[in-house]
Homo-oligomer: A and B are copies of this chain.
């Protein structure tokens, strides 16, 4: 039987290596373009130029600019989830979690991965149907955050008052908002000091309620 025709399917199965390389280049360029020029600057031409490829390839490989941007969001999400899961692997106390949260925030600022998410959310209202696609792709971020909270604050007296999924929703919102503001004013340090204060607060409340007995890091 012969190889099938038409544009390559979303799944990478069977596509030639050349095709896969082109797709990967476009996705990488899309991520960079979203970070530097935002959603409204992420045109097929701008992305293809950055990748050194013909802009028509965007439509051949992904069908539309929106689909390419969603593929870029998928790539970023996957990358982040692997990193996040590794980061909370050995975390058990609220204090550990605060350390990890600050570390992750610092990384996100450097890599600009949250910027991609922010731009996609903000840009979603421009194209019918895009919002739903983006919404689907955020679910893992909520799930991850909720797990991290359960893992560390699960037996705290606050747990009954504050359902983990509502807290997770709030934390994700806070990350997005802080990313936006930091991106705008360029004041990295401010948010890092805010994380420091939050950590003090957690420590204080922990000692107060005796749900997080002081223990040395590691």
Binding site for B on A (CB under 8 A): 36-41, 118-119, 121-126, 131, 134-135, 138, 161-163, 166, 169-170, 172-178, 180-181, 183-185, 190, 193-194, 197, 200-201, 204
Contact = CB atoms under 8 A, between A and B. Distances in A.
Given A161-B200, A184-B134, A123 B39 contact: yes
21 contacts: A38-B39, A38-B123, A39-B123, A40-B123, A119-B122, A121-B180, A122-B122, A124-B184, A134-B184, A162-B197, A162-B201, A163-B197, A166-B194, A169-B181, A170-B174, A172-B181, A173-B177, A173-B178, A176-B177, A177-B177, A177-B180
Nearest to A166: B194
B166 A170 contact: no
Contact of A169 (B125, B135, B190): B190
B180 A118 contact: yes
A122 B131 CA distance: 15
Contacts of A176: 176-177, 180-181
